[in-house]
Structure 1
Amino acid sequence: MGCHRAVPPLLGAARGWHQVRLSPAGGFSYLQTPMPVQQRKVKGTPSDINVIYESKDEGKANAQAGPAAVIAVSPSASPWRLSAIILGPICLILLILVIMMAQQVYQLSQKSEQQLEVIDLENIILSDTLQQLTTGKEDNCSMCEVDWDQQAASCYSFSTSAKSWHNSLDACTAISASLVKIDTKKELEFLKHEISKRVYVRQGQQFHFSFWTGLNYDNDIGNWTWADGSPFSFQLFQVPGAEGCAYMQKGDIRTQSCAKWEVYICEKPAKFGGN
């Protein structure tokens, strides 16, 4: 049987030994309890990696200290946490800036669309003016009166007051003109373009005017004729029906009773050379 002998307290405390026992060989063997250490090299790990050990009291202290203690104990994780702390607010600020820029781009796009509409309208007006100037040059400086539109050698007046077909004919005659007579495809396209620009608003809705032309159905001869008595050629356009008078609306030729009240188009020759 082995026997145990206590080591003197001062010797054990000085050397860090807690107890001894008698070995079978008759000597003493000491049971050594290592003193607490902060770091210990682990076999098989790279030389630059240390395994961190904490005593029970140190772990409790670190837990109470919070994140700062974790960063201090684990230096390898601190750069990532510091990056997250720094980059988080920066990313938030950038996101807010992107949203603000997107709103500004949207507002600018809305303004651009409105400006394009204004530019398109101005281009139409400039195109009409240029056409009139060019036409006047080709026609030996032919001119039309104020508020009359020119195309080739003719001047056109688009009325703003409505009358029946026969009263419209009389109104044109009173100003040395006649209800419009369409002779060419070019003239037809010109009239369609001018009519499409003339609209009115009623109860918040937009409507196109209906303009009387000089075309009417002659029951005596059973055919469509112009106001000056010349026959109509179906090669220019088709006229639906076989009665009434013809009018133009949104570029289409339509017919209805001559007693209806509509606005009208007067036509007369342009003046040449100031005559």
Structure 2
Amino acid sequence: MSDSKEMGKRQLGPLVYKIPSSQEENNQMNVYQELTQLKAGVDRLCRSCPWDWMHFQGSCYFFSVAQKSWNDSATACHNVGAQLVVIKSDEEQNFLQQTSKKRGYTWMGLIDMSKESTWYWVDGSPLTLSFMKYWNKGEPNNLGEEDCAEFRDDGWNDTKCTNKKFWICKKLSTSCPSK
């Protein structure tokens, strides 16, 4: 090989090595795709509600799989930074009624312990007339010191607070950091 060809090879050598082969391009593309998928997975880890909670209209709901008394249910909600569900809209009522129907009789955060027939939510707000339509026919009837409200298949019922029922906790959803 002539000196000029050898010199040309030495000068082009670094350039040849910088051009990736098609196999290297494929490998880089695969790595890039895997990183993109991993990032998307990590982004999904930021959830507005904990994994075992349901999201609805800016709030998170936990539907228990065990049964407890009303007081024990309220404590369970408090222990996870929530409270027994306080219903604020007809849409929320419909969502909760349909979801709790699948589980069975379920506590909500509505009681009349302070004064008979004066119903208050656990957040201190009174039960408004617009929600009276959700009581089952003849309810609330206060048969035998029934001071706590539950969801039944077809509406609300007042029942003894010591009975064991499923329960629903509610807390505000969180927002994920923007990307």
TM-score clears 0.5: yes
* 1:69-108 matched pairs, under 5 angstroms: none
The runs of 4+ residues in structure 1 deviating greater than 4 Å are none
Query: Please, which of 64, 76, 95 is the counterpart of residue 171 of structure 1?
Result: 76
Cα offset, 1:220, TM superposition:
3.9
Query: Please, which of 96, 113, 135 is the counterpart of residue 218 of structure 1?
Result: 113
CA contact (8 A) 1:247 1:253 kept: yes
Q: Secondary structure at the match of 1:272?
A: coil
How high is the sequence identity, in percent, across the aligned residues?
Answer: 33
If you compute each CA radius of gyration, which structure gives the higher value, 1 or 2? 1
Gaps spanning 5+ residues in structure 2: where? 1-45
CA contact (8 A) 1:193 1:251 kept: no
Q: When the two structures are superposed, what TM-score results if normalisation uses the length of structure 1?
A: 0.42
- Work out the number of aligned pairs and report it: 125
Query: Please, which of 96, 116, 138 is the counterpart of residue 191 of structure 1?
Result: 96
Q: Cα 1:241–1:251, aligned 2, differ >3 Å: closer, same or farther?
A: same
Taking the aligned partners of 2:121 and 2:168, their CA distance within structure 1 comes to 13
Taking the aligned partners of 1:219 and 1:188, their CA distance within structure 2 comes to 24
Q: When the two structures are superposed, what TM-score results if normalisation uses the length of structure 2?
A: 0.64
CA contact (8 A) 1:143 1:274 kept: no
Give the equivalent residue in structure 1 for 2:61: 156
Gaps spanning 5+ residues in structure 1: where? 1-140, 199-208
Cα offset, 1:188, TM superposition:
0.5
* Alignment of 1:263 onto 2:166: yes
1:168-222: CA deviations, max 9, x gaps? 1001000000000111000001011212333xxxxxxxxxx11100000133475
Higher strand share: 1
Taking the aligned partners of 2:96 and 2:158, their CA distance within structure 1 comes to 17
Q: Cα 1:241–1:142, aligned 2, differ >3 Å: closer, same or farther?
A: farther
Give the equivalent residue in structure 2 for 1:253: 156
Cα offset, 1:274, TM superposition:
4.0
Instruction: Identify which of structures 1 and 2 has the higher relative contact order when contacts are C-alpha pairs closer than 8 Å and 6+ apart.
Output: 2
